[in-house]
Structure 1
Amino acid sequence: MERSEAEMLNEGGARAGAVGEGAFQALQALMMLAEPDRAAQLYEELGSAQRERLQKEAAQAPVQERQRLAEVMRQARDFSGAARMLDGCGVEGLVADLYVQGGQYVEAAEAYLRAGQAERAAAAFERGGALERALEVYRGLGAREPMAQCLVRLGRPYEAAAIYRDLGQSHAEVEALGSVPAGDPRHLESVLRMCKLLDGEGFTRRALALLADTMRGSDAARADPALATEKARLLRRMGMEAEAEAVIARLPASASAPEANGYGYLKAIPIFGELSLEDMKDLYRVARQVLIPAGAVLLEKGAQGVGLFVLLEGTVDVHSGAESDARRLNTLGPGAYLGEISLVQDAPVSAQVKARTAVRALRITRAGFQHYLDTHEAAALRIFRLFTQNLAARVRALSA
């Protein structure tokens, strides 16, 4: 006589409870009887070794049966087991989601890749700690900001900072550079770049504090002429001329000598901070060296700007106006630059600049710069973007 389904179920359940054999058949019987809750309960009562044998046995079953069993396993909250049961069934997106629910993010990421969902795969790799794999996928997607985040987490902040620089995210670049350790060969270079960024954003005091802390904690930093020159520049920016001269006086003669051709000074100007090597060289070729006698006026207050001056030798005084009693606002020396706003904005000069000594300078005229912009489209976009950011930072600093 043919046995009833209930008898088959009882027999299967007894066998499963005893040694784990036939558990798949018992679950099949429950599924045939549309008893998913009881099937899930039976699955939950199995030991881990029994569940493992069940999964091996079920892996050879037809796709439809595996899908039904996967639903039972999902209901029993064995999400990873359900994902493995569905592997190869053509539902990789669902497999990945189940792996996520089971906390197996790397396996989820591989499934997302098979499903063609690269963005979700990268995020899952990152969440699972497989940062190199995440970086690889992000790179393939061209997702530069997540790439930078991975690089920071991988202990490669300098590379991350380079990406943030290309993206124009100066605050993120500062944060990344701040993670470059003191023992890294690029630490001092990172500090110098951070100071320029902070100063460009209107945080000159913070930049000075960073320099002072760096130089206080390292003999190499104290002996670095680039850091000392930057400290002097920042001190001048704050009207502390005597302190700036004292810093320069402590430098070896060879270190304090001005750059012969001014390329480095031109390169350091914030609005040119994102130009490629080729574009920077082309811009330098636009510049011309000029000699200005002591007492000559470089920039007249209220007049239209005549272009950019980058000081190579000598000093200039910045006054509030042309009157004999006008207040002296600052004194600038080699490395300082004047009139950069007039390159991109037709506006009157806000102060008078007069040569205190004979001056040698690089000059870029507005006409020459306009021709450069017309013939270097990518460079023009980068210059205007940085000019806008620097202008916004100045406005924020004035309103603070």
Structure 2
Amino acid sequence: MPGATGGQGSGGARVGTEGDSAGALRAVRSLVELEETEQAAQLYEEMGAAQRERLQQQAARRPAKERRGFVEVLRRARDFLGAARLMDGSGDDATAADLYLQSGQYLEAAEAWLRAGEAERAAAAFERAGALERALEVYRKLGARESMAQCLARLKRPFDAADVYRDLGQPHAEVEVLGGVTPEDPRYVEAVLRMCRLLDVEGFTHRALAVLVDAMTSSDVARAESSMVTEKARLLRRMGMDAEAEAVLGRRSTPSTMPVANGYRFLKAIPIFSELSLEDMKDLYRQARQVVIAQGAVVLEKGDPGVGLLVLLEGTVDVFSGPEADARHLNTLGPGAYLGEISLVQDATVSAHVRARTSVRALRISRAAFEHYLDTHEAAALRIYRLFTQNLAARVRALSA
């Protein structure tokens, strides 16, 4: 009868599908037992999505040793998420975490890293997933204060971040994060005054005055605040403008001052950072530390392992072909120049000998700090590596020509 035939056909298809799945599982199992992992992976790749899902469910019920064979098959087939799920509960949380990371499941990777006792890697994965509160909690337990400050800044808690940077002795990062406080914030005046004092102490009195003038121009509250007027007069006196200071205290107007260049602008101008978003660029800037190098000191030793990026803010350095007394002088670099960018993205030795011609003030981003930045800023990492590859290819073409 038609109805009975239709039922049998439907049932037959269903049995056939289950049979295909069971047969595929047996085939994969046989190949795993024969250590024919590549063939098993190829068979897995040729299955449909539903069939692969059923195979995974059945494989998950197999003993741990056999399950590991399936994990390797899925890894070869690049089903990293399926492999990670098979590894869950196997006792090898570190491997599961790596697989979750490869599949882009950063929250699951973070939890697996925690179970594996790898708290620092877990925190970085939480941060990469945007789970900043969880990342902050782990960083706090680790005592990783610089990473804490970065999380606090990304969580829009500028004063908390600034306090950490102050304790770390990083005034440029403290100023940068306080610059994120808006005029609508009830602590805006406090933030502006704190930035001005920090900039003044660091020798950027002109920039401090520019920050203050801008705040008083854009905020009625700041303009009416007596402490802002007093600070403006103090900065003018620091610049030798006593008459203008008295005019300010007498409520007379004074000309504004243009800000001076700072390390952020120099860092932003480096080609491999040219496509970073504003927020990613600010986060990178906070990774930098200011260093002072004495006149005559060796800045980079030829043949030594690269230690990271150095951006010159003040002073000049001489670049030589080597450390020998008769080494060829290759170049003299000043503010805005940078050294060691290649060592940020690959292991490389220093190719020249660099010595400070004058006292030098610079920004330094270490290899470790940069790697952490890449781990927690996926979009920025892709842009940086793409630009680095393009620049490297251009250099190769130029050498070939």
The TM-score normalised by the length of structure 2 is 0.57
On the 8 A contact 1:20/1:46 being kept in 2, the answer is no
CA contact (8 A) 1:16 1:26 kept: no
The whole-number CA distance in structure 2 between the counterparts of 1:30 and 1:105 is 32
> Which amino acid in the other structure matches residue 105 of structure 2?
Q
Instruction: State the one-letter code of the partner of 1:78.
Output: D
Letter aligned with residue 91 of structure 2 = G
Any conservation in 2 of the 1:194–1:207 contact (CA below 8 Å)?
A: yes
Aligned to 1:298: none
Cα distance in 2 for partners of 1:220, 1:88 equals 58
What is residue 369 of structure 1 aligned with on the other side? none
Which amino acid in the other structure matches residue 219 of structure 1? D
Between the aligned partners of 2:23 and 2:155, the Cα distance in structure 1 is 48
1:349 alignment counterpart: none
Q: 1:23 Cα deviation (Å)?
A: 2.8
Q: For residue 74 of structure 1, what is the aligned residue in structure 2?
A: 75
2:3 matched residue in structure 1: none
SS at match of 2:153: helix
Aligned residue runs from structure 1 range 227-376, under 5 A:
227-250=228-251
Residue by residue over 1:96-122, the C-alpha shift from the partner in whole angstroms, topping out at 9 and shown as x without a partner, is: 111111111111111110010101110
Are the equivalent residues in 2 in contact too, given 1:160–1:173 (CA < 8 A)? Answer: yes
Aligned residue pairs total 241
Deviations 1:132-171 (A, max 9, x none): 1111100111111101101111121221111101111101
Matches within 5 A, 1:33-182: 33-182=34-183
Once residues 101 and 18 of structure 2 are traced to their aligned partners in structure 1, the CA distance between those partners, rounded to angstroms, is: 30
> Residue in 1 aligned with 2:353?
none
The separation in 1 between residues aligned to 2:23 and 2:17, in whole angstroms, is: 6
* 3-state SS of 1:146 partner: helix
C-alpha distance in 2 between matches for 1:162 and 1:196: 15
Q: Provide Cα deviations, 1:258-282, integer angstroms capped at 9, x if missing partner.
A: xxxxxxxxxxxxxxxxxxxxxxxxx
| Alignment deviations for residues 158-208 of structure 1 (CA, whole Å, 9 cap, x no partner) | 211111011111011001001112211111111100000000011101111
Q: What does residue 214 of structure 1 align with?
A: 215
Cα deviation, residue 18, structure 1: 7.5
> Could you give the per-residue CA deviations for residues 258-314 of structure 1, whole angstroms, max 9, x where no partner exists?
xxxxxxxxxxxxxxxxxxxxxxxxxxxxxxxxxxxxxxxxxxxxxxxxxxxxxxxxx
Give, in angstroms, the shift of residue 245 of structure 1.
Answer: 1.2
Provide the rounded CA distance (Å) in 2 between the counterparts of 1:396 and 1:38.
Answer: 60
Q: Which SS does the other structure have where 1:20 is aligned?
A: helix
For residues 248 and 209 of structure 1, the distance between their equivalents in structure 2, rounded to whole angstroms, comes to 17
Deviation at 1:396, TM superposition (A): 7.0
Offset of residue 15 of structure 1: 6.3
Asked which structure has the greater CA Rg, the reply is 1
Q: Which amino acid aligns with 1:75?
A: R
Aligned CA RMSD, in angstroms, stands at 2.0
**d(CA) in 2 for partners of 1:21 and 1:396?**
71
Note the C-alpha offset of 1:17.
9.7
Change (3 A) 1:28 1:110: same
Deviations 1:303-349 (A, max 9, x none): xxxxxxxxxxxxxxxxxxxxxxxxxxxxxxxxxxxxxxxxxxxxxxx
Answer yes or no: is the 8 Å Cα contact 1:229–1:248 preserved in 2.
Answer: yes
Q: Is residue 15–residue 22 contact of structure 1 (8 Å, CA) maintained in 2?
A: no
Structure 1 position 65, deviation (Å): 0.8
Does the CA contact (< 8 Å) of 1:79 and 1:101 recur in 2? yes
> Counterpart of 1:31 in structure 2: which amino acid?
V
What do residues 338-381 of structure 1 show as CA deviations (whole Å, max 9, x unaligned)?
xxxxxxxxxxxxxxxxxxxxxxxxxxxxxxxxxxxxxxxxxxxx
Determine the C-alpha separation between the residues in 1 that align with 2:200 and 2:194. Answer: 10
Q: Structure 2: which amino acid aligns with 1:205?
A: H
CA contact (8 A) 1:16 1:22 kept: no
Residue 215 of structure 2 aligns to a residue whose secondary structure is: helix
Distance (whole Å) between structure 2 residues aligned to residue 181 and residue 140 of structure 1: 30
Distance (whole Å) between structure 1 residues aligned to residue 187 and residue 51 of structure 2:
57
**Normalized against structure 1, the TM-score is what?**
0.58
Q: How much does 1:82 deviate?
A: 0.8
Rounded to whole Å, the distance in 2 between the matches of 1:194 and 1:222 is 16
Aligned to 1:188: 189
State the Cα distance separating 1:32 from its structure 2 match.
Answer: 2.3
How many angstroms apart in 1 are the aligned matches of 2:47 and 2:159?
52
Separation (CA, whole Å) in 2 of partners of 1:34 and 1:112: 29
Cα distance, 1:40 vs structure 2: 0.3
Counterpart code for 2:206? R
Identify unmatched segments of 5+ residues in structure 2: 1-14, 253-358, 362-401
Q: Could you tell me which amino acid in structure 2 is paired with residue 153 of structure 1? A: R
Report the AA paired with residue 156 of structure 2. Answer: G
